[in-house]
Each structure stands twice: as structure tokens, then as C-alpha cells.
Structure 1
Amino acid sequence: MVTQQVRHSSEDGDVTRADSLAREIFSGVANKWALLIINVLGERTLRFTEVLNEVGGISHKMLTQTLRGLERDGLVHRTVYAEVPPRVDYRLTAAGAALRDTVNGMCEWTRRYLDEIEAARGRFDAQNGRAPQ
């Protein structure tokens, strides 16, 4: 077996570059479904249907796509059991758990500034003739 060493340039880590690896990874994890799934998994191992039930509003298809992306990026570990019916469990990897700390910070920020943001939206909508949402 031959092991290849992958060398990355400093440009690969630059999220401001449209063609960087970092931008690709960032796009995969910086969406509402990925963030919610990472938060729900936390320190637990869950079956697919448990994740589906805990992430309100996500479709079966979107959950499948998002879990596969998180697995591809090494943030989620998927275990398939040879049982009837089939059983598949998901848990965060070390990298996923580290990202969860950031997600928790974002959740805390949202809770802290929710009233302020809601008020700002109301002012903006009133000034721009938009109906409140």
C-alpha cells in the first residue's frame, strides 16, 4: 500500500478565496441543518430516526444529504449494524465535538441577542415598508 502525502498551500486555508478547500469545508458546515445536527448529536450516539425527530423541519432527504456531508468531512461517524431491520447510528468525531463548542457559542449568542435582533428587524421593516414577519 502506498501512502500519499497531500501538501496544501496557504491558499487552501483561506476562506475568502472562492476556490479554497477551507471555503468548501466552511460551506458544508455553516448551514442551518449541519449546525442543528451537530448540536443535536452532542455527546450522544443517535439513530437516523432519532436525529430526524429531534431536528424539527428537516426532510428525510436533507438529513441524509447533510449527514453524508458531515461524514465525508470527518465530523460524524456512521456505524452500520448487520441486523434486520438495518440499524445505523451516528455520533460526532473528535473534530465534530470540537466544532460543537463553536456551535454552542453561536446558540448562546443567539439567545443573548434574540430580543435585540427582533427589535432591529421590527425597526428595519417599519422604515422600509415591509410587513412584520
Structure 2
Amino acid sequence: MKRTMMVRMRKPPEDSVFRRVAHGDVPGTVQEALRAKTDIIGRAIVEILQGRPNFSCVRDRMPTYILKLWNIRTRGYPRQRFASKVDDIIAVMARKNYITVYKSKNTRIKLGWEQFPGCDILPNNVLLFR
């Protein structure tokens, strides 16, 4: 009698706007994430903010959300380098009004009034007036 081995397939990652638009651009390792272009990280930031309540999140948590979106686990110095790169991109996006940086109990970021290039698809529950 021949035994067959059952292989459990991993659940595919959730279908998101970023994965549909730029599936080939999704970094797989932290080194690829450090070399990622600014528009790829910018699209990830916009997608994350579109999925968050009130379209906002804590600024210091954004690198964690991006790495979680890309299924990358890292700690220590590589994460610090990626966090500084994300902070630089957030500052540039804030100057161009793609996002708004504001202060409540902590520093937060929110989607701005300008639409980020390449992210023209909005979720169904997004209101036109923020």
C-alpha cells in the first residue's frame, strides 16, 4: 500500500491594491526593502493609511506596518535603517501634501489632500471628503 503525503498549502496573502498594481516590485527581504524605490514605499504607505481607521496611524509604527504588508521579519540594525528611510519618505510626502503629519498625544500621519501618483484606486468605504 502506497502512502501519500498531504501537504498543507499556506494561505495566499490577502489581495491588496499594492500587490495587484506592482506585484513584481514587492521586496522579499529586508535588503531588497532597503533598496526599494521611493514610489514603491510611498504606495505602501498610502495603501496602509487607506486601510487604517480615520486614514491615520502613529508615525513611528509605519515601518512595522510596511514590513508586515510585505511579510518581512527583521529586528535590530536593518530595521533601524529601513525606519530612517521611511521617515525620509514620509517627510517628502508631507511636503508634497500626499500625507499630513500632525501632533496629538503622539506624532501621527494621515492621508493628505493630494493623491499619490499610482494609487488611484480607493477602497469602497472611502469618502471623498476627509
TM-score tier by shorter-chain length is 0.3 to 0.5
Question: RCO higher in 1 or 2 (8 Å CA, sep ≥ 6)?
Answer: 2
Normalization by structure 1: what TM-score? 0.45
TM-score, scaled to structure 2 = 0.45
